[in-house]
Every structure is written in structure tokens, then in C-alpha cells.
Amino acid sequence: MTCWTAAPAERAGQPFAPRPGRFTFFDWGDAAVSHPFCSLLVPARAARARYGAGVLPRLRDAYLEPWTGDGATAGELRRAVSLAWRLGAIGRAASWGRLFPEVAGTTSTANSTNSANGHSDSARWLLELLAEPAL
């Protein structure tokens, strides 16, 4: 199973659903080429925070259902989601690093605060690599 997708990380779990017959404009400035299973990371984390970890297996299986016709077994798909969870965390960390790069020689409090927040958010996402994937 090899497929890649443009993953708009800045959507923060909101669906991208253009309406038929209308032009839709979207800023893909924070997008990345990624495996489509990586896009499950943010909504899964939001669902876990809101409804508890017990909702994750159902969410994962519902997400994977359209992929079952491609010949991959449920176990293979679940393994791919587990790997994508970690890969998605790397993408999120890189995204935060791009949003708040360290600005050399800047004394502005706003810039140093944003940079520090971006670095701590990047580090928090990288810590996901050490944890067993929730899915």
C-alpha cells in the first residue's frame, strides 16, 4: 500500500470539504507531502481528549474502512496507522519549528516568546516518538 497525500497541517482537525460548483481557495503554506494515515493524528488526539481513549479503536477502524478494499488486512492497516502516528508527530514537530524559527540576534520579547513556544511545542510532539501510539 503506497499512497501519499498533501496533508494541510494548519487545518487543525477541521475537514476540508469544498462545495460543488464553487471555487475554493486554500492556503497550503503549512502543508506537507505525507502518508494519508498521518492525518489521523490530530483528530484522534482531539477525540481522545474529549471522549477518552476508549473511542480510539472505533475511530481508527472507521478511518481505515475505505482502505480495506485494497487487499491489505486489518492487521496490516492497523500497523500502518501505528507507524503513521509516529511519523505524523515528526511532521507536527517540523511544522512548529517552521512556524516559530529561532531568530538570531533578535531582542524582541514577542519574537523570543513565540520562538520559545514553538520550540517547546516541537519538543512536545517529538516526545510522542517515545510513547506507544494510542492507536
Is residue 54 scored above 90 in pLDDT?
Answer: yes
pLDDT for 51: 96
Residue 112 DSSP SS3: helix
Distance (Å, whole) CA 61 – CA 134: 13
Of 2-16, 34-48, 88-102, the least confident? 2-16
Say what the pTM is.
0.63
pLDDT per residue over 80-130, tens digit each? 999 998 888 888 888 777 777 764 444 445 545 555 566 787 888 888 888
Number of CB atoms found within 10 A of residue 83's CB: 13
pLDDT for 28: 64
Four-residue CA torsion sign, 104, 107, 110, 113:
positive
Q: Burial-class residue 85 by CB neighbours within 10 Å (0-12, 13-18, 19+).
A: buried
pLDDT per residue over 71-81, tens digit each? 889 999 999 99
